[in-house]
Homo-oligomer: A and B are copies of this chain.
Amino acid sequence: MDMPQRKHQQGLVYKESMEMSHILILGGDGYLGWPTAMHFSNLGYDVTVVDNYFRRHACTELDVGMLYPVPSLIERAKLWHSLTGKQIKVVIGDLTDAHVMRSLFDSRIQYSWAQNKRFTGLPETVVHYAEQPSAPYSLINYKYANITLTNNLQVTNNLIFAVRDFSPDTHIIKLGTMGEYGTPNIDIEEGWIEIEHNGRKDNFLFPRQASSLYHTTKIMDTDLMWFGVRMWNLRVTDLMQGPVYGIDTEATAINEKLRTIFNYDEILGTILNRFIVQAVVDYPLTVYGKGGQTRGYLNINDTLQCVHMSELKPARQGELRIFNQITETFSANELAEKVQKVGRSMGYSVQIDHLKNPRKEAEEHYYNPKYQGLVDIGVKPHYLTDGVIEGMFRVVGCFKKNIRRDVIFRGINW
């Protein structure tokens, strides 16, 4: 593999092996974090994951259930080690605390679990997933709005300052979201736009205006990252991701206990995952309003591919590189119809319900995002075929007895 060899600016710390690249995954216990950790570990990278169990605690507090029980992050890392011989070092800590963040770079880190507790060294790459990721969560009430705002911005701010202070050459891969753009009446470019006005021109971030507080915090993240890039020449890739679907990745074939956290409720479950669970327990699919809300979607395996390709071809110093990380677009109606079609072919009845929209959003709108950049650096998209949906139905069907109908919908509105 063609691993980028970049010099570090701090002589003090060193890597355990000059052959392996070190990747630090913030939010390594989450839906995307854990599969990403296994993916890179499998490829021979040194991997460190950090998490404060935010999602698990939220699941408990909000009583939303999970499709199946998931071992703790330490238990999963130990299992991974026993099955593959590879080490994923684990730090349980809250990254809103600047001291925890900085310990990951200044060698004061305390591993909660590691086979070899010596400091791995500065990371070549940080993948930043350590955010509260749910729009409805952010709008339950003012308390959850504040948690979302402070969690997401403090972690991001601590990250850019730690990288600036200790490891300015580290490549930050940040999960953004297509939701930052909203649904403008013009084509959505990949992050940037040239504006001509009164005969003069300049380049700007593509306009962003989100329709949830969570998505608004992601706009703010972009503001912070762009500030760090301009002021301190940080190297940042921002992956503007659409809703992700899927369960299994290559690594989960090794052992089912390695499967990622899977939520199916309105708060923490993403739309396609949730629709399949609803179909399995004969809960009518909950389309909001007219169902013309169109978004870009991608398979969880493509998230891994996108992050990996971004890591292999990092942003330059002083570059905020932005990719629209989606593989295809669907309206809510189209997704519901796909699930209905496949579900019915498998013997599920699958009804579709059009609820009064609990959100304030356009139910019919223009939507034309560009998404060429990731393909250009080598990503081979997986599309949402009937086969993919059928595969998800089969896994979800195995856990039918765990599904709680009472937590699927509660109608958080804003």
Give me the interface of A with B, judged by CB distance under 8 Å. Answer: 98, 102, 141-143, 145-146, 149-150, 153-154, 157-158, 161-162, 165, 184-187, 189, 193, 195-198, 200-202, 204-205, 207-211, 213, 216, 219-220, 223-224, 226-227, 230-232, 360, 366, 414
Contacts and interface: CB of A to CB of B under 8 A. Distances in A.
A100 B158 CA distance: 27
Given A150-B150, A223-B216, A414 B200 contact: no
A102 B24 CA distance: 40
Nearest to A220: B220
22 contacts: A98-B142, A98-B143, A98-B146, A102-B142, A142-B157, A146-B157, A146-B158, A150-B153, A184-B204, A185-B202, A186-B197, A187-B200, A189-B197, A200-B366, A208-B223, A209-B223, A213-B227, A216-B227, A219-B223, A220-B223, A230-B360, A231-B414
B185 A201 contact: yes
Contacts of A187: 197-198, 200
B185 A209 contact: no
A224 B216 contact: yes
A197 B202 contact: no
Given A98-B142, A157-B145, A197-B193, A227 B202 contact: no
A23 B366 CA distance: 42
| The 8 A-B residue pairs with the shortest CB-CB distance in the complex, in nearest-first order | A142-B161, A204-B207, A185-B202, A186-B197, A220-B220, A186-B200, A216-B227, A184-B202
Contacts of A102: 142
A161 B145 contact: yes
A154 B153 CA distance: 11
A126 to B, nearest CB: 16
Nearest to A202: B185
Contacts of A185: 200-202
Nearest to A183: B202
Contacts of A205: 207, 209
Contacts of A208: 223
A413 to B, nearest CB: 10
